[in-house]
Chain A
Amino acid sequence: MNGIQILLISGVVVIFGYYVSRFRNALLDLLVLTLFAALGIFFILFPEYTNTIAQKLGVGRGADLLFYSCILFFLFIILKLFARIRRLEDKMTDLVREQAKEKATDMKET
């Protein structure tokens, strides 16, 4: 095992540990995460397999394939986050509006 492999594997383990401690109750999420972590560690240990997959898909190197799929993945995350921010804004608007209506003051009497 060389340096970069140790670095990457410990990274995967730390992130995995963090998620497990935070999302103890979401079983499906945990299963998916375990799968991803296991796959990650596998490809870190045997990077030549990524080349085989990449070539089957018509991409030169495994590293390039990883790069392309990361772009797609992060775009997906951005969209998910945007939708979540939008929902949060809606909730905040409702709260602020509710309060504004409750505390409406007739300024004639001030």
Chain B
Amino acid sequence: MILETRGIGKSFGSVLALREVSMSVEAGQVTCVLGDNGAGKSTLIKILSGVHQHDAGSLLVDGAEARFASPRDALDRGISTVYQDLAMIPLMSVWRNFFLGSEPRRGLLGFDVRRARRVARDELRAMGIDVRDVDQPVGTLSGGERQSVAIARAVYFGARVLILDEPTSALGVKQAGVVLRYIAAARDRGLGVVFITHNPHHAYPVGDRFLLLNRGTSLGQYAKADISRERLTSLMAGAAELEELAHELERD
């Protein structure tokens, strides 16, 4: 188990944003975190990525209790987060973005451009990412391709756990499929993946275990064998709420 939480919680003043959530991330497996808006998904990933500190329960890295002081701290322990806005510069080429902030040196001040270009191309190809040309500006890539480049960058810079914040939410069906494929590729390279989404149809095919959140608490963590897609969908949507809604919308 690379990363684990046990009864973790966080409050902001009088607001209990997260209560008693237990989840686990294993190498080479995908843990999906599902929940509606306000379910506590983003509070949970902010704790996992070092943005917030938990104030109840415990966080374990490689079985030992841990507390991240900052995102940098989490990153140094191999926990890398790809946010929705990705931190990429649209006007710069793919390879310049790939190495931004961690450029390979050449001499005292130099940037080993040839190596950067080659590594970026090889890494993207190893992930099965088909960017036509690493020299093209990132702005010319589609949303899914950008997500993929950000994932490949995190993998290359030594991530052991990859946290993906709603990587498919702004994408069309086809593009979402592309990103799901790269999530699987990262998993196959032995990374533990935390995949946050509110779409059970994106989560089910790629996930190994599913954590369901509702209003800040856990509805349980399920292994894939223990839950069907239909059950997941209905838990996710809140079957009772949907029934109620159906009644409400019915014509008299």
Q: Do A and B come from one complex?
A: no
Instruction: List residues of chain B with CB under 8 Å of any chain A CB.
Output: none
